[in-house]
Protein backbone atom coordinates (compact mmCIF):
# COMPACT_ATOMS: atom_id res chain seq x y z
CA UNK A 1 0.00 0.00 0.00
CA UNK A 2 1.18 3.48 -0.84
CA UNK A 3 1.15 6.01 1.94
CA UNK A 4 -0.24 9.41 1.21
CA UNK A 5 2.66 11.83 0.90
CA UNK A 6 2.25 15.31 2.23
CA UNK A 7 4.46 17.78 0.39
CA UNK A 8 6.83 19.72 2.49
CA UNK A 9 7.35 23.47 2.33
CA UNK A 10 10.54 22.98 0.26
CA UNK A 11 8.77 20.85 -2.31
CA UNK A 12 5.96 23.40 -2.52
CA UNK A 13 8.46 26.09 -3.37
CA UNK A 14 10.05 23.87 -6.04
CA UNK A 15 6.68 23.12 -7.61
CA UNK A 16 5.73 26.78 -7.58
CA UNK A 17 9.04 27.73 -9.20
CA UNK A 18 8.36 25.42 -12.12
CA UNK A 19 4.79 26.53 -12.53
CA UNK A 20 3.24 23.28 -11.33
CA UNK A 21 -0.05 23.59 -9.47
CA UNK A 22 -0.91 21.51 -6.39
CA UNK A 23 -4.67 21.47 -6.58
CA UNK A 24 -5.28 17.96 -7.91
CA UNK A 25 -8.01 15.44 -7.27
CA UNK A 26 -7.33 12.74 -4.67
CA UNK A 27 -7.28 9.90 -7.23
CA UNK A 28 -4.44 11.61 -9.18
CA UNK A 29 -2.13 11.99 -6.20
CA UNK A 30 -0.36 8.69 -6.78
CA UNK A 31 0.41 9.31 -10.46
CA UNK A 32 1.47 12.92 -9.86
CA UNK A 33 3.81 11.86 -7.04
CA UNK A 34 5.57 9.34 -9.31
CA UNK A 35 5.90 11.92 -12.12
CA UNK A 36 7.19 14.61 -9.79
CA UNK A 37 9.81 12.29 -8.34
CA UNK A 38 11.02 11.49 -11.87
CA UNK A 39 11.25 15.17 -12.83
CA UNK A 40 13.00 16.20 -9.63
CA UNK A 41 15.53 13.36 -9.91
CA UNK A 42 16.41 14.45 -13.44
CA UNK A 43 17.55 17.88 -12.22
CA UNK A 44 16.29 21.38 -12.82
CA UNK A 45 14.00 21.99 -15.76
CA UNK A 46 15.69 23.81 -18.69
CA UNK A 47 14.78 27.39 -19.17
CA UNK A 48 13.31 28.26 -22.61
CA UNK A 49 15.97 29.53 -25.07
CA UNK A 50 16.42 33.26 -25.18
CA UNK A 51 15.66 34.67 -28.63
CA UNK A 52 18.50 36.83 -29.86
CA UNK A 53 17.94 39.75 -32.13
CA UNK A 54 19.03 39.20 -35.74
CA UNK A 55 22.02 41.20 -36.94
CA UNK A 56 20.62 41.51 -40.48
CA UNK A 57 19.83 45.11 -41.35
CA UNK A 58 16.74 45.77 -43.43
CA UNK A 59 16.02 48.83 -45.53
CA UNK A 60 12.92 50.42 -46.92
CA UNK A 61 13.50 51.54 -50.51
CA UNK A 62 11.29 54.27 -51.90
CA UNK A 63 11.28 54.67 -55.70
CA UNK A 64 10.22 58.05 -57.12
CA UNK A 65 9.63 59.30 -60.63
CA UNK A 66 12.64 61.34 -61.77
CA UNK A 67 10.53 64.10 -63.37
CA UNK A 68 7.39 64.40 -61.28
CA UNK A 69 8.97 63.11 -58.05
CA UNK A 70 5.83 61.10 -57.40
CA UNK A 71 6.12 57.88 -55.49
CA UNK A 72 6.03 54.82 -57.72
CA UNK A 73 6.36 52.13 -55.10
CA UNK A 74 8.00 51.20 -51.80
CA UNK A 75 10.04 48.03 -51.40
CA UNK A 76 9.96 46.96 -47.77
CA UNK A 77 12.43 44.79 -45.81
CA UNK A 78 15.29 44.87 -48.31
CA UNK A 79 18.33 43.26 -46.71
CA UNK A 80 21.89 44.35 -47.49
CA UNK A 81 23.76 41.40 -49.02
CA UNK A 82 26.86 42.84 -50.76
CA UNK A 83 28.24 39.37 -51.50
CA UNK A 84 25.26 38.66 -53.80
CA UNK A 85 25.67 41.21 -56.58
CA UNK A 86 23.21 40.93 -59.52
CA UNK A 87 25.42 38.88 -61.85
CA UNK A 88 25.97 36.32 -59.09
CA UNK A 89 22.26 35.73 -58.43
CA UNK A 90 20.40 33.03 -60.35
CA UNK A 91 16.58 32.92 -60.15
CA UNK A 92 14.45 30.01 -61.35
CA UNK A 93 10.74 29.34 -61.51
CA UNK A 94 11.40 25.65 -60.99
CA UNK A 95 14.17 23.93 -59.09
CA UNK A 96 15.79 22.38 -62.16
CA UNK A 97 14.52 24.94 -64.64
CA UNK A 98 16.52 27.52 -66.61
CA UNK A 99 17.71 30.74 -65.03
CA UNK A 100 15.57 33.77 -65.68
CA UNK A 101 17.02 36.49 -67.89
CA UNK A 102 17.41 40.05 -66.65
CA UNK A 103 14.97 41.26 -69.31
CA UNK A 104 12.08 39.15 -67.95
CA UNK A 105 9.32 41.18 -66.29
CA UNK A 106 7.37 40.14 -63.21
CA UNK A 107 4.10 40.55 -65.07
CA UNK A 108 5.11 37.89 -67.61
CA UNK A 109 5.84 35.43 -64.78
CA UNK A 110 2.77 36.03 -62.65
CA UNK A 111 0.09 33.35 -62.85
CA UNK A 112 -1.37 34.39 -59.49
CA UNK A 113 -0.81 37.04 -56.84
CA UNK A 114 2.11 35.03 -55.40
CA UNK A 115 5.33 34.32 -57.38
CA UNK A 116 7.72 31.68 -56.06
CA UNK A 117 11.33 31.93 -57.21
CA UNK A 118 14.28 29.66 -56.42
CA UNK A 119 17.53 31.41 -55.58
CA UNK A 120 20.95 29.99 -56.59
CA UNK A 121 24.36 31.46 -55.83
CA UNK A 122 26.21 31.29 -59.16
CA UNK A 123 29.58 31.92 -57.51
CA UNK A 124 32.08 34.67 -58.16
CA UNK A 125 31.57 36.25 -61.59
CA UNK A 126 34.00 37.91 -64.01
CA UNK A 127 33.32 39.92 -67.14
CA UNK A 128 33.79 38.39 -70.58
CA UNK A 129 36.38 41.02 -71.42
CA UNK A 130 38.49 39.91 -68.46
CA UNK A 131 38.07 36.27 -69.48
CA UNK A 132 39.33 36.74 -73.04
CA UNK A 133 42.14 39.10 -72.07
CA UNK A 134 43.39 36.59 -69.52
CA UNK A 135 43.06 33.63 -71.89
CA UNK A 136 44.93 35.39 -74.72
CA UNK A 137 47.62 37.18 -72.72
CA UNK A 138 48.83 33.93 -71.16
CA UNK A 139 49.72 32.12 -74.43
CA UNK A 140 51.48 35.22 -75.78
CA UNK A 141 53.79 35.50 -72.78
CA UNK A 142 54.24 31.75 -72.24
CA UNK A 143 55.40 31.16 -75.81
CA UNK A 144 57.95 33.97 -75.55
CA UNK A 145 59.35 32.48 -72.33
CA UNK A 146 60.00 29.21 -74.16
CA UNK A 147 61.34 31.05 -77.21
CA UNK A 148 64.11 32.79 -75.24
CA UNK A 149 65.01 29.36 -73.79
CA UNK A 150 65.16 30.02 -70.09
CA UNK A 151 67.81 28.09 -68.21
CA UNK A 152 65.14 26.77 -65.87
CA UNK A 153 63.35 25.11 -68.82
CA UNK A 154 66.12 23.89 -71.15
CA UNK A 155 69.74 22.91 -70.73
CA UNK A 156 71.80 26.08 -70.91
CA UNK A 157 74.71 24.54 -72.82
CA UNK A 158 72.44 23.00 -75.47
CA UNK A 159 70.54 26.27 -75.83
CA UNK A 160 73.69 28.25 -76.69
CA UNK A 161 75.30 25.69 -79.01
CA UNK A 162 72.43 24.45 -81.15
CA UNK A 163 71.46 26.44 -84.23
CA UNK A 164 67.84 27.51 -84.61
CA UNK A 165 66.13 26.68 -87.86
CA UNK A 166 64.30 29.60 -89.55
CA UNK A 167 60.99 27.82 -89.02
CA UNK A 168 61.43 28.24 -85.25
CA UNK A 169 61.61 32.04 -85.60
CA UNK A 170 58.72 32.05 -88.06
CA UNK A 171 56.57 29.94 -85.75
CA UNK A 172 57.15 32.40 -82.89
CA UNK A 173 56.25 35.32 -85.14
CA UNK A 174 53.02 33.69 -86.39
CA UNK A 175 52.00 32.58 -82.90
CA UNK A 176 52.47 36.10 -81.51
CA UNK A 177 50.54 37.64 -84.42
CA UNK A 178 47.64 35.29 -83.75
CA UNK A 179 47.23 36.22 -80.07
CA UNK A 180 48.02 39.91 -80.52
CA UNK A 181 45.16 40.03 -83.03
CA UNK A 182 42.86 38.33 -80.51
CA UNK A 183 43.82 40.80 -77.78
CA UNK A 184 43.26 43.86 -79.99
CA UNK A 185 39.91 42.55 -81.20
CA UNK A 186 38.83 41.91 -77.61
CA UNK A 187 39.56 45.54 -76.73
CA UNK A 188 38.37 47.35 -79.86
CA UNK A 189 36.12 45.07 -81.94
CA UNK A 190 34.09 42.66 -79.82
CA UNK A 191 31.24 43.99 -77.71
CA UNK A 192 30.10 41.85 -74.79
CA UNK A 193 27.30 44.13 -73.45
CA UNK A 194 28.37 43.68 -69.83
CA UNK A 195 27.93 39.92 -69.72
CA UNK A 196 29.48 37.81 -66.98
CA UNK A 197 30.51 34.20 -66.48
CA UNK A 198 31.54 32.18 -63.40
CA UNK A 199 35.18 32.37 -62.40
CA UNK A 200 35.53 28.59 -62.78
CA UNK A 201 34.82 28.92 -66.53
CA UNK A 202 37.72 31.35 -66.90
CA UNK A 203 39.99 28.93 -65.04
CA UNK A 204 38.99 26.13 -67.41
CA UNK A 205 39.64 28.33 -70.45
CA UNK A 206 43.03 29.43 -69.15
CA UNK A 207 43.99 25.83 -68.43
CA UNK A 208 43.14 24.91 -72.04
CA UNK A 209 44.91 27.81 -73.80
CA UNK A 210 47.88 28.06 -71.47
CA UNK A 211 48.37 24.29 -71.32
CA UNK A 212 48.36 23.78 -75.09
CA UNK A 213 50.66 26.76 -75.59
CA UNK A 214 53.19 25.38 -73.10
CA UNK A 215 53.06 21.98 -74.79
CA UNK A 216 53.50 23.39 -78.31
CA UNK A 217 56.18 25.93 -77.38
CA UNK A 218 58.24 23.39 -75.45
CA UNK A 219 58.78 21.17 -78.49
CA UNK A 220 59.19 23.84 -81.16
CA UNK A 221 61.75 25.85 -79.16
CA UNK A 222 63.58 22.84 -77.76
CA UNK A 223 67.33 22.83 -78.58
CA UNK A 224 66.93 19.33 -80.07
CA UNK A 225 63.95 20.26 -82.21
CA UNK A 226 64.22 18.61 -85.62
CA UNK A 227 62.66 20.58 -88.50
CA UNK A 228 60.37 18.71 -90.92
CA UNK A 229 62.12 16.68 -93.60
CA UNK A 230 60.58 18.80 -96.37
CA UNK A 231 62.99 21.62 -95.44
CA UNK A 232 66.10 19.48 -96.00
CA UNK A 233 66.13 19.15 -99.78
CA UNK A 234 67.51 22.51 -100.88
CA UNK A 235 67.51 26.10 -99.76
CA UNK A 236 65.13 27.30 -102.48
CA UNK A 237 62.45 24.78 -101.56
CA UNK A 238 62.86 25.63 -97.90
CA UNK A 239 62.38 29.34 -98.53
CA UNK A 240 59.39 28.66 -100.77
CA UNK A 241 57.67 26.48 -98.17
CA UNK A 242 58.33 28.94 -95.39
CA UNK A 243 56.96 31.77 -97.52
CA UNK A 244 53.92 29.69 -98.53
CA UNK A 245 52.95 28.65 -95.01
CA UNK A 246 53.56 32.08 -93.50
CA UNK A 247 51.56 33.78 -96.26
CA UNK A 248 48.72 31.32 -95.87
CA UNK A 249 48.68 31.86 -92.12
CA UNK A 250 48.73 35.64 -92.44
CA UNK A 251 45.89 35.49 -94.98
CA UNK A 252 43.83 33.44 -92.53
CA UNK A 253 44.59 35.88 -89.73
CA UNK A 254 43.57 38.84 -91.89
CA UNK A 255 40.40 37.03 -92.99
CA UNK A 256 39.54 36.24 -89.38
CA UNK A 257 39.90 39.91 -88.48
CA UNK A 258 37.69 41.24 -91.28
CA UNK A 259 35.01 38.66 -90.54
CA UNK A 260 34.96 39.64 -86.85
CA UNK A 261 34.62 43.29 -87.80
CA UNK A 262 31.70 42.46 -90.10
CA UNK A 263 29.99 40.43 -87.38
CA UNK A 264 30.52 43.23 -84.86
CA UNK A 265 28.77 45.73 -87.15
CA UNK A 266 25.98 43.22 -87.62
CA UNK A 267 25.50 42.99 -83.85
CA UNK A 268 25.36 46.78 -83.55
CA UNK A 269 22.45 46.94 -86.00
CA UNK A 270 20.20 45.24 -83.45
CA UNK A 271 18.65 42.91 -85.99
CA UNK A 272 19.43 39.39 -84.86
CA UNK A 273 18.00 37.80 -87.99
CA UNK A 274 20.40 39.71 -90.21
CA UNK A 275 23.65 38.07 -91.35
CA UNK A 276 26.43 39.90 -93.19
CA UNK A 277 26.69 39.26 -96.89
CA UNK A 278 29.78 39.24 -99.13
CA UNK A 279 31.11 42.68 -100.02
CA UNK A 280 33.89 44.03 -102.21
CA UNK A 281 36.33 42.79 -99.57
CA UNK A 282 37.48 39.35 -100.80
CA UNK A 283 37.88 38.11 -97.23
CA UNK A 284 34.10 38.34 -96.79
CA UNK A 285 33.28 36.17 -99.78
CA UNK A 286 33.11 33.12 -97.54
CA UNK A 287 29.81 34.51 -96.23
CA UNK A 288 28.27 33.02 -99.37
CA UNK A 289 29.18 29.55 -98.09
CA UNK A 290 29.01 29.70 -94.27
CA UNK A 291 27.40 32.07 -91.77
CA UNK A 292 30.48 32.48 -89.54
CA UNK A 293 33.65 32.22 -91.68
CA UNK A 294 35.83 33.36 -88.77
CA UNK A 295 35.95 29.75 -87.58
CA UNK A 296 36.99 28.65 -91.08
CA UNK A 297 39.88 31.10 -91.05
CA UNK A 298 40.80 30.04 -87.49
CA UNK A 299 41.06 26.41 -88.57
CA UNK A 300 43.09 27.42 -91.61
CA UNK A 301 45.58 29.27 -89.43
CA UNK A 302 46.19 26.28 -87.17
CA UNK A 303 46.46 23.87 -90.12
CA UNK A 304 49.15 26.08 -91.67
CA UNK A 305 50.99 26.35 -88.34
CA UNK A 306 50.84 22.58 -87.78
CA UNK A 307 52.07 21.68 -91.28
CA UNK A 308 54.84 24.28 -91.02
CA UNK A 309 56.18 23.00 -87.66
CA UNK A 310 55.20 19.30 -87.81
CA UNK A 311 54.72 18.80 -84.06
CA UNK A 312 52.35 16.45 -82.29
CA UNK A 313 50.96 19.11 -79.89
CA UNK A 314 50.18 21.33 -82.87
CA UNK A 315 48.21 18.50 -84.46
CA UNK A 316 46.20 18.01 -81.27
CA UNK A 317 45.45 21.76 -81.14
CA UNK A 318 44.24 21.69 -84.73
CA UNK A 319 41.98 18.73 -84.02
CA UNK A 320 40.54 20.58 -81.01
CA UNK A 321 39.83 23.63 -83.17
CA UNK A 322 38.08 21.53 -85.82
CA UNK A 323 35.98 19.70 -83.27
The full set of domains in the chain, from first to last, is 60-123 (3.10.20.90), 124-227 (no CATH), 228-266+275-307 (no CATH)
What does the pLDDT average to over 89-96? 87
Checking 181-184 for CB contacts under 8 A at 24+ apart, the result is 181/253, 181/256, 181/257, 182/132, 182/136, 183/133, 183/136, 183/137, 183/140
pLDDT digits (tens, 9 = 90+) for 115-167: 888 888 888 899 999 999 999 999 999 999 999 998 888 888 887 777 888 89
The pLDDT score that the predictor gives to residue 75 is: 78
What does the pLDDT average to over 200-218? 95
Structure confidence at residue 250 as a pLDDT band (50, 70, 90): very high
Instruction: Single out the residue of 146, 223, 221, 129 nearest to residue 184, CA to CA.
Output: 129
Alpha helices in 189-234 (DSSP H): 199-220
Predicted model pTM? 0.71
Q: For the chain, give the mean pLDDT.
A: 80
The pLDDT score that the predictor gives to residue 242 is: 81
How many Cβ atoms sit within 10 Å of the Cβ of residue 240? 11
Amino acid sequence: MYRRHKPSATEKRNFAAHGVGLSLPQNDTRSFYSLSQLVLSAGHLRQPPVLRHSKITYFEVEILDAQSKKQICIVDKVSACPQWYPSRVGLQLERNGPYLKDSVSIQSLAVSSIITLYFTDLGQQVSWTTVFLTEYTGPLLIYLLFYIRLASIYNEQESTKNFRHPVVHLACFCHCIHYIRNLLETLFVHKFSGGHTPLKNMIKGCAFYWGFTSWIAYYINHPRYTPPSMYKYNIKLTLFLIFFFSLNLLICEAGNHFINVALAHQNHSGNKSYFPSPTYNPFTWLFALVSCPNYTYEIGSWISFTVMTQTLPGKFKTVMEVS
